[in-house]
Amino acid sequence: MRAALPAALALALAACAPKPVYLRPSSAADGMVYYHEQDRLGDKHAISSEELDESGREPTRVPAPALIDIDSTLHLGIRPGGAAPDGEAPAAGGDELVAQKQALTDLMLKLDQLQGLTQKAVEAYLAKEEVLADLRIKEQAKKRIEFLDALEQRYPVNTETGDAVQAEIGVRGLEGVRPFLQVELDTIEARDDELRALAESRSSTLRIEAFLARDDANPVAVHVPGYDSLPEGKLVTRDRVGLDLSEDERAELVKQVEATSALAKTLETVRTKEKSIFEGVKEALDNVSPELAAKVREGEQLALSLTDEARLERVKSGFKSAAERAADDADALSESIRAQIRALPDALIASLKEDVGGVEAVLLLVAEGKALQDRWERLVESQDMSATLDLILATRTFAGDVSKAFESVPKWIRDAAKHTGEFLELEAAGISDEVVTAFENYLKSDEVTDLTKEVHLYYADVKRAAKLVKETLAVLDVGKLPVEGRVAPTVPEAFDVAFDELKDTSIDLGRVPSADGDILLVRTTLKQPGLDPQQSNAEFKITHYGWHARISPSVVLVRPDEVASGDDEYRFAPALGWMHHYRPRPEDSGFFADALRPLQPALGIHAIFLNFENETGIGLGGTLSFWNDRLQAGAGYNLSASSSDEGQVYYFIGSDLIGLLQTVGIGDNR
Amino acid sequence: MLLEKRSDLDDALSSKVSVCVLLGAEDTKAGAVHGFLEPKTWGNLPWQTWFLVTDLLLLTEEEREEWFGADRDYVFLGRNSKVVTGSGLCEKDLLLKSGACYFGNVQRKFAQADLQ
């Protein structure tokens, strides 16, 4: 039996160890990106397929999430072949237009040149500069023949347009050709714009967005080179030895060490029976999660307030008085109904007492009461008869609603609802001036207003209690979607990249301010002509592969090997370990990797704050841990002891309790 | 212009101008071409001139033979050399099928004459 417990614990913890998860590709978008990882030493590791396939890039699995090293680079090999081919692009029409536009532009250019040369020739001729004029006249003549040949090729004579062009030449010389060219050029440009827009709408695009998500924060956009305009990000140098801490990491460590020390101290006072286990747990909670502890304290106060005998007595007497008043006022009511109404307050108080723990049931009851009360208040405010009649008619429906609303609560509430329903039904059925007047007076009476006030206050407390339950659940991470399931927002800086401009890209995790356990989400959106956009989500859990070390505070049960007084029991103490971990990669095999993977062992040195024989001291020694420091054992040497019977040698067993609590959702989850 | 006196043609033949000579009465195809050219709005240049010869006697025997032969009614003469750079039938070369003037070809023929 004793051996079975650690084995079961080991199995459970090993099952909790993060493992890469993959899905089958299910869309064209899944097939477009081939992921592989390049570690800090330059070695490449497959992600999108079991074996690295850099040339074929055939994704056979989608990471959901895969594990990648915190200091690696994630490569995204883009594979447009993974998507269906583009729709038919209007390339032929576009090419023809380009050619025509070019021909027209050439003609325009030739015309300009011809006119320039002609002007120069005329100037030389009129200036009687014979040699120059001769030269210029020949230049313009050559250009003219060239232009006319090209013009007639475009606008052949004896055609409608060709003859119109000739007619224009007759009126304005070659300048008359220009409007023809310009109109045609404008038409082609307009058509060209249309074709370009059509081509754009017909071409496929890919968008890649990346985010870093962690449990306690919203996803943050991560730069994907070539696919967004986000800044590149600073290159972060990470110390895998775990000693070169950033300011934030140091502050976090100090907080954890202080919490661990306080936790060990509290546990020790419980062990020595100075405090009850209940007090101890509350105090420990204060150290581990001050936020949760505050919620618990507020809950205690509310529970006291909601179960306060004097307060409940006030509610009870308020209901009693109001019911008595109602019974007295409603002459038409039968004696049995009056008796049932009188019985209501006792039943209600019994419920309040019983159901303080089940806030929901109380809330439901009071919420319905509140709705009823609101109607009463509105009725009081509406002094006119027609409004009063409307509201009384509405009570007929309300009576049915009350019965429905109480269907799921305990039997006595159903009875109460039934009685209330019958009462209201009766009132609504027997409408008469006398009843209405009596009802109005009843609503305005001191009994009803006092009760309303008391119920208001009680209702406010119950509402707060319900909210507190929700807040507490939030602190405990209950009901919160895991990072993997969250929908990341869009990155406004990301853009669609056309297929012919797609390039491979990579995300350098050295530039991403990530931490162990964070999730890198990569979303690719494929847009194809005539098809709905497709998305592919790939997830990568950030971890440390290979060797890495970190400082780990823990709470341990330590005992001296030998003390003169004979008090060699285990006692709680805070310890600080420098633990060296090794995490094999998924493709690593062999005994070493197979043993390391489930056990997650680490070796390290530690310092412990000891208290043997009422003497405080510091111990130094070695630690062996399993399951990511959750279970630790070690031995060391007490530096303050001068002889073996002063507890010079000690042993301990302990746990990274803070981490363990964080794992189950208590405390700051970083 | 309508050639009324030989001296006008001689002046043109002795100047550095490109010359077009149309041969025929005013109601012929040559006369029609002449009528199209006369408004001088078709991009004619200062060194280009044209005559409508309605009286064959204003031309020398040699000119009649060399320029028009038996079946031509127009001729273009080089600006410097005064050699024939183009000749033929107006109906075929200088008029469109519609009967309108083929101004583009008139310009082309003058340009060819400008080169000589």
3-state secondary structure A534-584: EEEEEEEEEECCEEEEEEEEEEEEEEECCECCCCCCCEEEEEEEEEEEEEC
Model confidence at A35, pLDDT cuts 50, 70, 90, reads very high
Out of B41, B102, B112, closest to residue A166 by CB: B102
Give per-residue pLDDT as tens, A233-282: 766 667 788 787 778 878 888 888 887 888 788 778 777 777 666 666 66
Span of A334-343, A365-374, B94-103 with lowest mean pLDDT: A365-374
Please report the pLDDT score of residue A397 as a whole number.
47
Confidence bin at A355 (pLDDT 50/70/90): very low
Judge: B112–A152 Cβ closer than 8 Å, yes or no.
no
DSSP A74-123: EEEEE-GGGSPPPPPP-HHHHHHHHHHHHHHHHHHHHHHHHHHHHHHHHH
Inter-residue contact B114 to B47 (CB < 8 Å): yes
pLDDT number for residue B19: 94
Q: Which two tokens stand for residue B54?
A: 């309605």
Is A135 an 8 Å CB contact of chain B?
A: no
- d(Cα A215, Cα A541) in Å, to the nearest integer? 12
List phi, psi (to 5°) of A5: -65, -50
Contacts of B112 in chain A (CB under 8 A): 141, 145
Is A177 touching B (CB cutoff 8 A)? no
Q: Provide the 10 A C-beta neighbour count for residue A85.
A: 10
**What pLDDT is recorded for position A564?**
80
Orientation angle between helical segments A277-288 and A247-271, nearest 10 degrees: 180
User: In chain A, what residues touch B39 (CB-CB under 8 Å)?
Assistant: 170
How high is the pLDDT of residue A555?
85
HSE-up (13 A, CA, CB side) for residue A263: 28
Average pLDDT over residues A367-382: 50
Omega of the bond leading into A18 within 30 degrees of 0 (cis): no
CA distance A217 to A517: 13
Q: How far is B114 from chain A (nearest CA, A)?
A: 6
Query: Which chain A residues are within 8 Å of B96, Cβ to Cβ?
Result: 157-158, 163, 166
If you count residue pairs, one on A and one on B, with CB atoms under 8 Å apart, how many are there? 81
pLDDT in tens, A428-485: 444 344 444 555 565 666 766 776 677 667 667 766 766 766 666 565 554 444 444 4
For residue A227, give how far its alpha carbon lies from the nearest alpha carbon of chain B (Å). 56
Q: Kindly state the average pLDDT of the residues A526-533.
A: 83
A86 pLDDT band, cuts 50/70/90, is very low
Question: Chain A contacts of B43, Cβ < 8 Å?
Answer: 169, 172-175
Q: What are phi and psi of B15, to 5 degrees?
A: -110, 165
Distance CA A505, CA A507 (A): 7
Task: Choose among A185, A186, A177, A189: nearest CA to A111.
Answer: A177
CB count within 10 Å of CB A246 equals 12
For chain A, the average pLDDT equals 74
Give the closest-approach CA distance of B68 to chain A in angstroms.
Answer: 24
Which residues of chain A from 67 to 126 reach within 8 Å of chain B, CB to CB?
Answer: 118, 121-122, 125-126
Q: Mutate which of B17, B34, B42, B94 to test chain A, going by most A C-beta atoms within 10 A?
A: B42
pLDDT band, residue A7 (cuts 50/70/90): very low
Q: A579 forms bridges with which residues in the sheet?
A: A550, A604
Q: Residue A656: what pLDDT?
A: 80
Beta strand A217-222 pairing with A205-214? antiparallel
Band (pLDDT 50/70/90 cuts) for residue B81 is very high
Please name the residue of chain B whose CA is at the shortest distance from the CA of residue A118: B45
> Does A148 contact B104 at a Cβ distance shorter than 8 Å?
yes
Nearest CA in chain A to B18: A137
* Coil/strand/helix, residue B25: coil
* pTM (two decimals): 0.49
Q: In 10 A of CB A386, how many CB atoms? A: 8
Q: Which two tokens stand for residue A35?
A: 């992921």
CA dist A234 and A445 (Å) reads 72
What is the model's pLDDT at position A655? 83
User: For position A496, what pLDDT does the model report?
Assistant: 86
Percentage, residues of chain A above pLDDT 90: 15
- Check if A151 contacts B (Cβ < 8 Å): yes
Residue of A133, A25, A43, A132 lying closest to A83 (CA atoms): A25
Average pLDDT over residues A348-370: 45
Q: In what order do the strands lie in the sheet with B48-53?
A: B48-53, B18-23, B74-77, B84-88
Contacts of B111 in chain A (CB under 8 A): 140-142, 144-145, 148
Q: What is the mean pLDDT of residues B83-98?
A: 94
Residue A367 has pLDDT above 80, yes or no: no
Cβ A553 vs Cβ A574: under 8 Å: yes
pLDDT (0 to 100) of residue A410: 40
Binned at pLDDT 50, 70 and 90, residue A307 comes out as: low
Q: CA-nearest residue of chain A to B47?
A: A125
Residue A68 half-sphere exposure toward CB, CA atoms < 13 A: 36
Both tokens of residue A33?
């990106």
Using the predicted structure, report yes or no on whether residue A209 has a pLDDT greater than 50: yes
> What is the Cα gyration radius of chain B?
13
Q: Who wins on pLDDT, A140 or A428?
A: A140
Closest CA to A459 of A323, A306, A296, A300: A306
Amino acid of residue A563? V
* pLDDT band for position A287 (cuts 50, 70, 90): low
Q: Which residue has the higher pLDDT, A303 or A384?
A: A303
